[in-house]
Amino acid sequence: MAALLVHAIEQGLAYGIAALGVFLTYRILKFPDLTVDGSFVTGAAIASLLLINGGFDPFSVFLLAFGAGAVAGLITGILNTRFGITNLLAGVLTMIMLYSINLRIMGRPNLSLLRIPTAMRIVEASWEPLGSLAILVFIALLTIFVKLVLDMFLRTEIGFALRATGDSERMITAQGVNAESMKLLGLALSNGLVALSGAIVAQYGGFADVGMGIGTIVTGLAAVIIGGSLIRSSRVGWMTASVLLGSLVYRIAIALALRYGHVVGFQPSDLKLITAVLVVLALVVPRIRERRARKVSAC
C-alpha cells in the first residue's frame, strides 16, 4: 500500500506540471487548448530521442523539451490570433499536426529508455541514502521549483497583463497592451510546461509513446477543477498549489481505483471512464452546494 501511494504521488507531481500548463490556458487565459495532448508527447519524444541518439545530459533535455512545447503552443496561438481560427479548432489542428510530427521525431511509435542513463537513474544512484524515496524527492523539488517560478512570473507586470487578458480582452487592449501577444505568450508557456511534464514522465516511466498524451487535457482539467474545489482562493500562490493538490488527489484516486476497483467491477480499460466521472463530479458537486446554499439563504 505504501509503495502504491509513493508511486501515485510521484505521478501526481510529474503530471502536476502539465496541470499547471492547463491551468494557464483554462483558468488564466480562458482558452480551452487541446494542443496539450500533442505537446505532452512532443516533450517526451524530444527528451527520449536526445538521450538515445544525442548523448545529451538527462537534465538539460528538460529545457529543450520545454522549448519544443512552447513552439507548439505558438503554432496554436498564431492559428487563432493571426488567421482567426477559433481556439478549439486551432488546438485540434495543432494536436493533429503534432501526431505526425511526433512520429517523425521518434521514427517509430515508441522509444525505450530502459538501458539509457535517465535523470531518475542518476538521482537514484547519487541520492542513495534516500533509498526508494530519492525519485520522489527529486520530482517534488523540481515541481515545487516550477510552481515558484510560475508564481513569480504571474506576479510580474507581464504576468498581470496575461491574467487581465483572460479576464477582459477589451479592457487590457484599452490599456495599450497587445492582447494577441499575451495569448501567444500564455499558450507558449502552457505547452512548454506540458512538454516539460512529458519529458519528466518519459524518463520516469522509461519510454516515450506516440499515444501517451491522449487525455492530457482531461487529466489536467481534472486536477484544476478538483484542486479548485478543495482550495478556493484568488491568490496566485494558492491557485497553483490547488492545481498540484488536485493532481495528487486525482492520481491517488486513480491508483486506488485500479488497485481495488475489481471489488466493484472496475477494469483497467475503465480508466478513461473513471477520469470522466471524477471530472463530472468535480464540476457538479460545487454547483449542487451553491444551489442548496441559495435555497437555505432564501428560506
Instruction: Give the DSSP letter string of the chain.
Output: -HHHHHHHHHHHHHHHHHHHHHHIIIIIS----TTHHHHHHHHHHHHHHIIIII---TTHHHHHHHHHHHHHHHHHHHHHHTT---HHHHHHHHHHHHHHHHHHHHSSSEEE-TTS--HHHHHHHHTGGGGGGHHHHHHHHHHHHHHHHHHHHHTSHHHHHHHHHHH-HHHHHHTT--HHHHHHHHHHHHHHHHHHHHHHHHHHHTEEETTTTTTHHHHHHHHHHHHHHHS---SHHHHHHHHHHHHHHHHHHHHHHHHHGGGGT--GGGHHHHHHHHHHHHHHHHHHHHHHHHHHHH-
Q: What is the mean pLDDT of each run of 10 residues along the chain (299 residues)?
A: 87 96 94 95 96 89 97 97 95 96 95 92 89 92 97 95 90 88 96 98 96 90 88 92 95 84 74 76 76 77
What tens digit of pLDDT does each residue of 149-158 get?
999 999 999 9
Q: For the whole model, what pTM was predicted?
A: 0.93
What tens digit of pLDDT does each residue of 241-265 get?
999 999 999 899 888 887 877 777 7
- Give the start-to-end residue ranges of the domains of the chain: 2-213
